[in-house]
Amino acid sequence: MADLEALLADFTAECADLDRLIADLDPAEWRRDTPAAGWTIAHQIAHLNWTDRVAAVAATDPATFDGLVQAAPPKALTFVDEAAAEGAKTPAPQLLADWRRDRAALVEALRTVPAGTKLPWFGPPMSPASMVTARLMETWAHGQDVADTLGITREPTARLRHIAHIGVRTRDFAYMTHGKTAPAGEFRVELTAPDGEVWSWGPEDAEQRITGPALDFCLLVTQRRHFDDLGLTVIGADAREWLGLAQAFAGPPGSGRTAGQFA
């Protein structure tokens, strides 16, 4: 069983790392364009803030959250962007304060969820552990956009394991979002952690294999780097096809990044 307190601590640490990148920025810097088309740094933080706040509603007030779900279908392809655009209008100091408040509130809300409870969400219901892991993944991914905008290279941490795990677990979902059927057999994924440990998923004797740095795999499955710019080794046509489709996040396929974009 997942250790919820450990996951909450990792989420808090991931938020703090991103917070340090933006805490002392001049408000004008928040208007800088990030690699996500149409999104500034303010959009990135507004999106994280909105999602953390909505996740807390799912944990504490399922009836109100259900109303949000019912209102979502007519704007299925636009409501995330619309929420980010609206939040980005908030003055930078207030937006930062709101995000700090709401991410802390989410941590406390998840602590109160009774064991075994599944939280409603825009997709399948999620356990508190799955919810906080997904929030960590998104915080890291959007934090990468902010770091790229500011020209900062972040130090990889063991928290990448959570993101890699989601990346592996969402293999079949990635095929589905592209209207494809996933291969029947499992793939072997072996990733080298920042400290040199090897993290692995799938059968040891699988013919389809992916190996390489955990950081590179996480950048790929969150669509923050193009495959050609990463040090991943792939054996098998099916595994290579998957890495062209992979997405650790919910929703429709993203546009990703282009080869050489960050050279």
Q: Is the pLDDT of residue 213 over 80?
A: yes
Question: Other CB atoms closer than 10 Å to residue 12's CB: what's the count?
Answer: 17
3-class DSSP state for residue 246? coil
- Tokens 């999602």 identify what position? 51
The average confidence (pLDDT) of the chain is: 95
Amino acid at 126: M
pLDDT of residue 143: 98
pLDDT of residue 214: 98
Question: Other CB atoms closer than 10 Å to residue 116's CB: what's the count?
Answer: 7
pLDDT of residue 254: 81
Do 17 and 103 meet the contact criterion of CB atoms below 8 Å apart?
A: no
For the stretch 68-120, pLDDT in tens is: 888 766 555 577 889 999 999 999 999 999 999 999 999 999 999 998 999 99
The model's confidence at residue 13, banded by pLDDT at 50, 70 and 90, is very high
Residue 44 and residue 62: Cα distance in Å, rounded? 26
Kindly tell me the number of DSSP H helices and DSSP E strands found in the chain: 10, 4
Rounding to the nearest 10 degrees, give the CA dihedral for residues 123, 251, 83, 164. Answer: 90
Kindly state the average pLDDT of the residues 193-204: 98
Q: Is the pLDDT of residue 211 over 60?
A: yes
pLDDT of residue 17: 98
Residue 180 and residue 172: Cα distance in Å, rounded? 9
Kindly state the average pLDDT of the residues 201-207: 97
Rounding to the nearest 10 degrees, give the CA dihedral for residues 170, 172, 173, 177. Answer: 140
Decide the pairing of beta strands 198-201 and 209-213: unpaired
Strands (E), the chain: 188-192, 198-201, 209-213, 233-235
Burial class (CB in 10 A: 0-12, 13-18, 19+), 85: middle
Q: Tell me the whole-structure pTM to 2 decimals.
A: 0.95
Tokens of 189: 């994924």
3-class DSSP state for residue 84? helix
pLDDT of residue 115: 87
